[in-house]
Amino acid sequence: MSMSIVETQYGRVESVHANGLHAFLGVPFAAPPVGELRWRPPADPTPWGGVRRAVDFSAQSWQPVLEGMGPLQFAFNADRAERHEDCLYLNVWTPGLDNRKRPVLVWIHGGGFSGGTGGTPIYDGTALARRGDAVVVTINYRLGALGFVNLGEVTGGRVPATGNEGLLDQVKALEWVRDNIEAFGGDPGRVTIFGESAGGMSVGALMAFAPAAGLFHRAIPQSGACSTAQSVARAAQVAEGLLELAGVSVNASAAELLALDPDRLVEAGTAVSAKLGGAMVFQPCIDGVQLTDLPLDAVATGSADGVSVMVGAARDEWRLFTAMPGFPAPEDDAGLQQALAGRIDDPEAVISAYRSAREGRGEAADAATLYSAIETDRVFRIPAIRLGEALAARGRESFQYLFTWESPWEDGRLGSPHAIDIGFVFGTHALNPGSAEFFGSGEAADALAGHVQDAWLAFATDGDPRTDALEDWQPYAPETRATALFGDPVSVALDPWGEERAVWDGVNAGIGTL
């Protein structure tokens, strides 16, 4: 073990070099967004003299303490992590501090735009960087009431927040990568952004976000694509509810709002989610300036032309949520129709079509199973397919995948759930007993991790994820709908679960919304 020093544009950073890899943790990419900088676009960090030690993860963005995470409690144990508004830091893993110009992968964490951190152990970039001779970066960004609340509308501009400050943090991190990553052995001309859940939705939003243009060259939205963003009217409703529950008036002065305790804001954010009945009331805002349209519509008119895309989901995403408190699965068809009412226009027809498709394949078709299948597709799989279709309509290549590997958690009752891909992308599937219980371990799991990492790394290298194991994986086209299936074994299928996919043809309302 030895120490390594790198010169960044803001000062020198020092960290550990061990087992052929350098890991720089807690590197500032923006000034602390505190005081007058709360709810403002991120500013440059203050340069420092001497050498700054970069051996520990930073505090995470202020967020609720997570409880009742069910199968994922091992991963998101935020109750034992420091929270602070001073959170805009990133982490870098690199095989060499040289001029090799390696591909760079920048991870945007998930957490419903209200939780998470780039320092979560299952996001450790060691295995991925080492396997592909690549540079891996994970980032923090402002969350919830501090990163995705449009206060400009309700305060008459006294607090000019657009609701996209969290996205601007992500842009600031990408600007840091552009300006500094070459000193860490990376290629600023080969930057891939990838993320899962709200991280995938962030990737999708950045594909349409004007300030992000030119800062990345490839994109991998995982279990979240370009269909999640809210109108200014909805964002204003959330902001009004937030201030009311925080005990302040929309007419309060900017000084009063800036003085609000962050814990009070986070508690109000949790309360407004419950009041408005939305699972994710904080999300990117279509402000008409920086984000001019729903990201999918922007991509359809060329906002992501020139960006290589690989996109996908897991087969049974929603089963993770029904295994958590607060997301009960319906017990009968009456409860199923009630659960879907307000989310889709004709629940009865959708339920009938899904039941027919599943029974035709000899699969379970009870109310709880159908609920998870429908919500999986509505929120995650269909948005991924719509992105592939939009790119194909523009003559742009993209690659589609579906995770089918099944979690062993509680005798496999989750199927292939939300977040199942993460441990295999990072090679952290057997990091500890909790991760092994969720992702799986052993020879088959290790082999899948190798296949997944090889595909992600190949894509980051030249925009083509095909490997020897997936040589038949063709770009996505409506005529064939080639889809890589990441299971045991890996394979390629044409239009998998096509009967269910066809149910959504022509349906736009409710797709990707939470």
Do residues 484 and 399 lie in contact, with contact meaning Cβ atoms separated by under 8 Å?
A: yes
CA distances from 253 to 159, 165, 224 (A): 9, 20, 37
Do residues 303 and 207 lie in contact, with contact meaning Cβ atoms separated by under 8 Å?
A: yes
Annotated active-site residue in 418, 435, 451, 500: 418
User: 198-206 vs 165-180: helix axis angle to the nearest 10?
Assistant: 70
What torsion, rounded to 10 degrees, do the Cα atoms 419, 423, 426, 428 define?
A: 150
Query: What does the alpha-carbon distance between residue 374 and residue 369 come to, in Å, rounded to a whole number?
Result: 9
The sign of the dihedral angle between the CA atoms of 327, 333, 339, 343 is: positive
Annotated active-site residue in 317, 389, 406, 500: 317
- Active-site annotation holds for 418: yes
Query: What does the alpha-carbon distance between residue 303 and residue 380 come to, in Å, rounded to a whole number?
Result: 21
- Active-site annotation holds for 317: yes
For β-strands 398-403 and 135-139, DSSP reports them as unpaired
Do residues 76 and 69 lie in contact, with contact meaning Cβ atoms separated by under 8 Å?
A: yes
Query: What does the alpha-carbon distance between residue 5 and residue 22 come to, in Å, rounded to a whole number?
Result: 10
Amino acid present at 446: D
Q: Go through the chain and tell me how many residues it has.
A: 514
Query: What does the alpha-carbon distance between residue 303 and residue 314 come to, in Å, rounded to a whole number?
Result: 26
Query: What does the alpha-carbon distance between residue 157 and residue 134 come to, in Å, rounded to a whole number?
Result: 43
489: preceding bond cis by omega (within 30 degrees): yes
Q: If DSSP codes are grouped into helix, strand and coil, which group holds residue 31?
A: coil
Do residues 22 and 10 lie in contact, with contact meaning Cβ atoms separated by under 8 Å?
A: no
In which element (H, E) is residue 265 found?
helix 262-276
- Active-site annotation holds for 197: yes
CA distances from 38 to 42, 58, 267 (A): 9, 18, 17
Among all residues, which ones are annotated catalytic? 197, 317, 418
